[in-house]
Structure 1
Amino acid sequence: MRETELMLKGYGLTTAEFIYRMPDYRNVLNTYLWQEYDVAPDYPALFRFIEFWQEKLEGPLHSVRFTHRKLIAPGEWRNVVGEFRLH
């Protein structure tokens, strides 16, 4: 689906910061940023990605921080009939 369609269906942009340990150097932490359109409060795309990480990738997760923002809410739409400009 296109991004606008997702936003109109209630999806918002979820950004997550994954802090993980390097596979060969367990004392070294690294970060990975992930963004996807997802639905709050269940966050199915985020949890699918976390499951994928734990099953397929070697670097164990240390922590995950995330934020979610709806970019378009139904109450933000309004019909503009005209525009009045100065200068």
Structure 2
Amino acid sequence: LDVFLGQLAHTHGLDLRVIDARRGDLPPHAYGDALHLDTDGSLRRPYRVQVYPTLVLTGPDGRIEAVVTDVPEQDAQASVTRRLGLA
């Protein structure tokens, strides 16, 4: 799903930002400058993120346009694209 999200962002001209609260399994170079570690919760709190992964699509003004929290393993790419309104 990580590679797919990068491709989706590129295809739709989105500015992809990845907020990781725990560092997880992401290698240090994953996402380059788009990766933000959020160990103190200051980035995820404004968006009310409580479960991982959570995908939040915002407009240029920062207002939330779509949120996806439960991505099924089956057909995850189509589900994310549709639920973010990018289909």
TM-score normalised to structure 1 length: 0.23
Q: Report 1 or 2 for greater relative contact order, CA contacts < 8 Å, sequence distance ≥ 6.
A: 1
Larger radius of gyration: 1
| TM-score normalised per structure 2 | 0.23
